[in-house]
Chains A and B, each alone.
Chain A
Amino acid sequence: MAKRVEQLESVVIRFAGDSGDGMQLTGGRFTSETALVGNDLATFPDFPAEIRAPAGSLPGVSGFQLHFADHDILTPGDRPDVLVVMNPAALKTNLADLPKGGTLIVDTDAFTERNLKKAGYDASPLEDGSLAGYQVHAVQLTSMTVGALKEIEGVTAREAERAKNMFALGLMSWLYGRPVDSTLEFLEKKFAKRPEIAAANIKAFNTGYAFGETSESFAVQYEVKAASLQPGLYRQITGNTALSWGLLAASKLSKLPLFLGAYPITPASSILEELAKHKAFGVRTFQAEDEIAAAGAALGASFGGSLGVTTSAGPGVVLKSETVGLAVTLELPLVIIDVQRAGPSTGMPTKPEQGDLLMVLFGRNSESPVPVLAASSPGDCFYAAIEAVRVALTYRTPVYLLSDAYLANGAEPWLVPDIAALAPIDVDFAQPNGEVFQPYARDPATLARPWAIPGTPGLEHRVGGLEKANITGSISYDPENHDLMTQLRAQKVAGVQVPALEVDHQEGADVLVLSWGGTYGPVHAGVRQVRAAGGKAAHAHLRWLNPFPSNLGDVLRSYERVLIPEMNLGQLLQLVRARYLVDAVGYNRVTGKPFKAGEIADAVEALQ
């Protein structure tokens, strides 16, 4: 008998289980199915840095949150509506986020005495009444999976048990009416080498789906209609993939071969891995012996006329700073990507933070200006990468592009770009013109110096870290020349053309919320909440942190109060207060988790 179907505008689901339970895969597949429905969506994978923390332990819990809706949304959601937990540890670490009345789906088979003890429970929460305030669906997920897979030959008991995440996915797919074909195809492909495992996973998935249809525990099926997004072809994308593809696009637009120097580091490694797949695009990826060599090789390639890029996270970027300083004085293009994570030192490798802003702006010896921009969403990483390259090549300067662990792994629907419509990046290598070559003569418009690459006859020249005489580039210790060169380097970076700051103004608002980087989604969602509740607030989001857009001062001064939310202790805040003498206030939290829209709304309301 068909069950009742209820319409919902949006749902937030969180899958949580042990690191070995395949929660990231489960969440990823549910996301793909959801994307095919045409919902707007945002995801937040949250996993431990340890590859396999002890099974069943609290630190070993891995989660994946997904928010999908029939309208445009900005964040993975503050709190889940539905929490799927695969063991007691997952319940313990996630229950506090589930609002009372929320739906809880539990694999009861995992609530053994041993697992309860590992999670620090004295008595089973399934039996002691502590879950009374929630809609609990106790499902014997593991045993039903193992039971269903008995007949499949060649599958061990352990392998059968491991398919329980597909049972859960099947059940959730039924509950929200998701299309299943893409998952079945995916499983067949993923386990092509072991058809019996593919069969087991498919069986588990179908059993979970059928369980939803027939079980009395689930009386209602839900539907979330497609969102009305801008027309076009969509796919979902994570920040690191978008960033990698943005670099490929920039290479194509500039007609320069891409050279990536990198050293493995969380959460940036997947950029190296993604680009390593694309040698057909003429990409050279170089896994260096260390972060220093990764940056150095990229700069060496840039000297030779390649598009030199180096990627890392904060602990690696500190090591690159001497190379960035050299690139500043050589005035050669170099793109340095910092996928920020919580620090200091090793900190929390898989967790996002915005703590590296002042480091990339100022973390070099002496006067060493570098343009800095930050991506605002997973999909925006594509465009931010192109922009970083455009400035690096146009102005012959290192450029820092900031992303973070949240953008890197988070996914959102992405309107597939029309590559042919992207503006080309013009690069003119210096050519001999019969005159003596002057390596430090400048283009009057950009103050960029000529880029003369080896192989060009007659332009043989030497560059180096020692101060250079203006125009000729010869070594110079002349006091006035050093002052002039320092000024010129600063002027060049200050003169980088960046778009004016756009303000999402609301009539009558006297509070401006100024954000930057990966917090765009939750901050804008928070501003929307304020407005929905009848409050007034304006929002502006900075892409360029150096130089600032030229209208920033005017924008700041046109509001009575300015709130700067940051996942650090107030780094942009300090810059804005110092530069514009504006009495801005901060909202600063460093929990290793993205902001919640609700806390931003509260912070704005506190200022009203």
Chain B
Amino acid sequence: MTLTAKDFKSDQEVRWCPGCGDYAILAAVQSFMPELGLEREKIVFISGIGCAARFPYYMQTYGMHSIHGRAPAIATGLATSRPDLSVWVVTGDGDSLSIGGNHLIHALRRNVNIKILLLNNQIYGLTKGQYSPTSEQGKVTGSTPMGSVDYPFNPLSLALGADATFVARALDTDKPGLTEVLRRAAAHKGAAFVEIFQNCNIYNDGAFDFVRDEKENRLYLKHGEPAGDTGVTHDETDFAAAFELSRVTIETHGVVPLGVFRDVQRESYDDLLAAQLANAKGDGDLQALVASGDTWQIG
């Protein structure tokens, strides 16, 4: 049976606010899923808490809506023990860069075979609009009436700093660009980190208009070619180039790089662990183990 986007829609009513960027991302992911060439039962979506974290409920796959920030940890256990599955994490900027920051960087460092989609809307939506670790400094929100004083994270720089083997960025409404990034992430063996700019039209509307609406500001990265006027020749295997491009913003260069920043091969955690299991000495004889060491007979 050839699957279509429709086969990946669950029977649950989608409950994001009308106009939310999450709808477009869900649609793009559902249309992309058949390309994986996997049966639905082999696919698992895991999320934490937040607006984005409702994602698994809407996918006709296996799924878990878990704990705030912990999805990468839970996915690590699943992917490591079940290498036959395609495991996806859907998270937000608060979920994975604030409360779950530790799990994100360690999943990337270990290169666990999971695909992480970070829906970045630069705000806490589900709790009604407090600033997030990606909100710009000076953001006036319910919890920062005089403007936020802390400096934001650059998610891509952070992921690169954690030595992620695959780092990319896409836009919620740019279906072809997003689909291409999903395709590349899925093909990557190991941890893939994808930041998706997502408009929260209720609490942070227009945060990404400079690249959603103003298409001329999009800088699509092409491996081996100069990246616009940045002076960087894009090379997906070159850490320095990827990092430099991660610092390119609308403020610094008047453009926003999109696409794959880094894609390098390194053995994944689950493969390495599986190899240790396969090469472990001994025959797993429990009776021999419990009777090992200094023993003595009575009677």
Contacts and interface: CB of A to CB of B under 8 A. Distances in A.
A458 interface: yes
A304 B297 contact: no
Contact of A462 (B64, B80, B102): B64
Given A305-B82, A475-B12, A462 B65 contact: yes
B294 A280 contact: no
Contact of A296 (B70, B82, B286, B296): B70
Contact of A301 (B10, B81, B286, B292): B81
Nearest to A454: B62
Given A300-B73, A416-B291, A330 B64 contact: yes
A32 B77 CA distance: 39
A389 interface: no
A326 B73 CA distance: 14
Contact of B77 (A261, A455, A459): A261
B294 A235 contact: yes
Nearest to B45: A462
B238 interface: no
Contacts of A575: none
Contacts, number: 205
A293 interface: yes
Given A323-B70, A461-B62, A280 B291 contact: no
Interface stretch (B34-42, B117-125, B173-181): B34-42
Given A417-B290, A464-B56, A232 B299 contact: yes
A229 B40 CA distance: 58
B41 to A, nearest CB: 5
A217 to B, nearest CB: 31
A326 B67 contact: yes
Contacts of A32: 294
B102 A419 contact: no
Interface residues of B, number: 59
Contacts of A458: 41
A230 B46 CA distance: 52
B12 A303 contact: no
A260 to B, nearest CB: 10
Interface in A288-305: 288-290, 292-293, 296-305
B103 A293 contact: yes
A508 interface: no
B64 A286 contact: no
A289 B46 contact: no
B62, B80, B277, B287, most chain A CB atoms within 10 A? B62
Contacts of A466: 65
Interface of A: 32, 35-36, 38, 182, 226, 228-236, 245, 248-249, 252, 257, 259, 261, 278-284, 286, 288-290, 292-293, 296-306, 308, 322-323, 326, 330, 416-420, 454-466, 474-475
Given A279-B277, A458-B41, 16 more contacts: A232-B297, A280-B284, A284-B277, A289-B103, A292-B73, A292-B103, A296-B67, A298-B77, A299-B77, A300-B74, A300-B77, A301-B77, A304-B78, A322-B67, A455-B82, A462-B65
23 contacts: A226-B298, A228-B298, A231-B298, A233-B297, A235-B294, A235-B296, A245-B289, A259-B77, A284-B81, A289-B102, A296-B67, A298-B77, A300-B46, A301-B78, A304-B81, A305-B81, A326-B67, A330-B64, A416-B295, A418-B287, A457-B39, A460-B40, A464-B57
Interface of B: 10, 12, 39-44, 46, 49, 56-57, 59-67, 70, 72-82, 84-85, 102-103, 106, 273, 276-277, 280-284, 286-287, 289-299
